[in-house]
Amino acid sequence: MPAFIRLVLLVSLFSVPALAAEEEPLDEIVVTGEFKGPGLWRVTRPGDSTNHVLWIVGEPLGLPKGMRWRSGDIEAIASSAQEILNEPGVNMVSDEKIGVLRGLTLVPSLLKARKNPDDKELDEILPAELYARWLAQRKLFLNNTKRLEDWRPFFVAERLRTKAMEKLGLREGGVVWDAIGKIVAEKKVPVTTPMLKFTFKRAELRGKIKEFLREPLVDVECFRTTLDLTERHSDGEWVKARANAWARGDLETMRSLPPRPDPNLPCAMAVLDAQVARELIPSDLREQTEKLWLDAALAALGKNESTFAVLSFENLLRPDGYLSRLRGAGLEIEPPN
């Protein structure tokens, strides 16, 4: 995501007026305790006499905050690894330093960027059935506030997602990294995060923001998928069944449950399809980041006796995820026992 869009998003999330004090609390979905979770995927090169291994653990999303991941066997493997491989990221930096004062002068424009062009409101942009679903979610998670009605669906979706996860007592990742982070600190295991880097010109930043203010986003699908996500997580039985299946390491049950909607791709594409974004970053961003991770994994497998990778659990269940790419590279994969 372009740096200035990322900044717009941060501004939008942290500058919303406080909701009314009489807001009714929701019941958190409670599943607590320490669990082993699923095991590891074991990746090797056929016929490799060095016996180098890439171990992969899945980082689950949307689990209750009371759950803690504790697996002595897996943590021992991470402790003995020569490298820990993280998911890839994208980093956009300015060709010149943007000082604090200059950054503050951009805030008014950034705040405007979250508003719909031509002062349109959500009921004018969204299909009727989708707007009706939004009203239900607005009442459930946002105290029925009308302060977001003139925001772009992209920014409303992110706000809704954040508040829903908070009110339901769910966490967006971190279960595995809570434990792995301690190992990294104690054992000084090197962590590699494959990073795709782009540079934008500071002199063009204000102009790009102004262009963005005028351009509508194709973000209805982003909004729809986010509602799918918050509605699914509002189903306490689904959340508990999924959390318990993960805790037992029951991959078959996890695959059999209705999948967790993932708004990340449609929301990213809503921004990447904007003219401003097309001028700054390539259209095949996802392909490039996935290739970057695959290259890093192959390099680690070649040089390390043991490499430990942390990937999104949902990605590992996808037929077109990273496991598929590793198989396509000729590697052998053993699923968790």
Is residue 279 in some structural domain?
yes
Is residue 22 in some structural domain?
no
Is residue 21 in some structural domain?
no
Total domain count, the chain: 1
Is residue 19 in some structural domain?
no
- Dist CA 319 CA 248 (whole Å): 22
Is residue 122 in some structural domain?
yes
pLDDT digits (tens, 9 = 90+) for 125-149: 999 999 999 999 999 999 999 999 9
**Enclosing domain of residue 148:** 3-14+28-334
- What's the whole-model pTM score? 0.80
What is the secondary structure of 271-335 as a DSSP string? HHTSHHHHHHS-TTHHHHHHHHHHHHHHHHHHH-SEEEEEEEHHHHHSTTSHHHHHHHTT-EEE-
pLDDT digits (tens, 9 = 90+) for 56-101: 998 888 999 888 877 788 889 999 999 999 999 887 665 555 443 3
- Dist CA 60 CA 76 (whole Å): 20
Is residue 162 in some structural domain?
yes
Is residue 75 in some structural domain?
yes
What is the secondary structure of 107-133 as a DSSP string? HHHHHHHTBPGGG--HHHHS-HHHHHH
**Tens-binned pLDDT, residue by residue, of the chain (337 aa):** 434 344 344 334 333 434 443 444 445 444 556 677 778 999 999 988 889 999 999 888 899 988 887 778 888 999 999 999 999 988 766 555 544 334 433 333 454 578 888 889 999 999 999 999 999 999 999 999 999 999 999 999 999 999 999 999 999 888 888 888 888 889 899 999 999 887 766 666 556 666 766 677 889 999 999 999 999 999 999 999 998 888 888 888 988 999 999 998 888 888 777 776 677 677 788 888 999 999 999 999 999 999 999 999 888 988 899 999 999 999 999 998 7
Is residue 222 in some structural domain?
yes
